[in-house]
Amino acid sequence: NAGVTQTPKFRVLKTGQSMTLLCAQDMNHEYMYWYRQDPGMGLRLIHYSVGEGTTAKGEVPDGYNVSRLKKQNFLLGLESAAPSQTSVYFCASSYPRGSGRMGTDTQYFGPGTRLTVL
Amino acid sequence: EDQVTQSPEALRLQEGESSSLNCSYTVSGLRGLFWYRQDPGKGPEFLFTLYSAGEEKEKERLKATLTKKESFLHITAPKPEDSATYLCAVQGGSEKLVFGKGTKLTVNP
């Protein structure tokens, strides 16, 4: 049971390049999330998904897109990277509490991807 | 808007010196307060969930408590391996998890 895994672990991009971060979970969780963590800012929600084929915006969604084609995978895309997107990105997953909304159960995090945009 | 403030930003203790970390929050309709531990270069690791005022949970040297306005993470007789950043988060009526900036704990041998 690997839990939540993220690939790649590190990446360096030039301004304007695109890339996709992959998150995979083997806990059969319905909900998945993407966060970014910056010094002095805490964790901030980018996008989230309450189930296969669904996505929704979080606190800081601009410049990112996501897709949830399979229940176990959640992809985060940067179409045209900017230096302001230099950050550590974390994926998380959880069970819902059954409300059909974002859910209140514990979120389990992956190890993170450190992205630098030059 | 839901808000979480953690204090202090950093805390340095000697091994065996007990102390507490504070998490003050404002939230519309608390559905859960979460404590996580984060080691450098790693993802947050879940510690506790508290759901209502008066609730307490313990794990080894850690004990989390909750009131209507704040939560405390008490660390009893800490060891160097307890050194980490401790994160607090709340989930309210909006159902989005809002994190504090964390408290960096260093325990010296």
> Which residue of chain B is at minimal alpha-carbon distance from A102?
B95
Looking at residue B16, the DSSP 8-state letter turns out to be T
Task: Say yes or no to pLDDT of A19 above 50.
Answer: yes
Task: Say yes or no to pLDDT of A99 above 80.
Answer: no
Mark yes or no for CB contact A102/B95 under 8 Å.
yes
Give the pLDDT confidence of A39-58 residue by residue, as tens digits: 988 899 999 998 999 999 99
Contact (Cβ atoms closer than 8 angstroms) between residue B103 and residue B6: yes
Closest CA to B86 of B57, B58, B46, B55: B46
Strand partners, B34: B49, B89
pLDDT at position A11 is 96
Instruction: Choose, out of B52, B95, B101, B104, the residue to mutate when testing the contact with A (most A CBs < 10 Å).
Output: B95
pLDDT at position B31 is 86
Give the pLDDT confidence of A72-98 residue by residue, as tens digits: 999 999 999 999 999 999 999 988 765
**Closest to A42 (Cβ–Cβ): which among B31, B32, B99?**
B99
DSSP track, B60-90: TTEEEEE-SSEEEEEE-S--GGG-EEEEEEE
Distance from CA of A107 to the nearest CA of B (A): 8
Give the pLDDT confidence of B49-92 residue by residue, as tens digits: 998 899 999 999 999 999 999 999 999 999 999 999 999 999 88
DSSP track, A20-32: EEEEEESS--SEE
Distance from CA of B46 to the nearest CA of A (A): 7
**Closest to A111 (Cβ–Cβ): which among B43, B89, B99?**
B43
Instruction: Choose, out of B49, B88, B97, B98, the residue to mutate when testing the contact with A (most A CBs < 10 Å).
Output: B97
Q: Which residues of B40-75 are buried (b: 16+ CB within 10 A; e: fewer)?
A: eeebbeebbbbeeeeeeeeeeebbbbbeeebbbbeb
Looking at residue A39, the DSSP 8-state letter turns out to be T
Three-state DSSP at B36 gives strand
| pLDDT > 70 in chain A, percent | 92
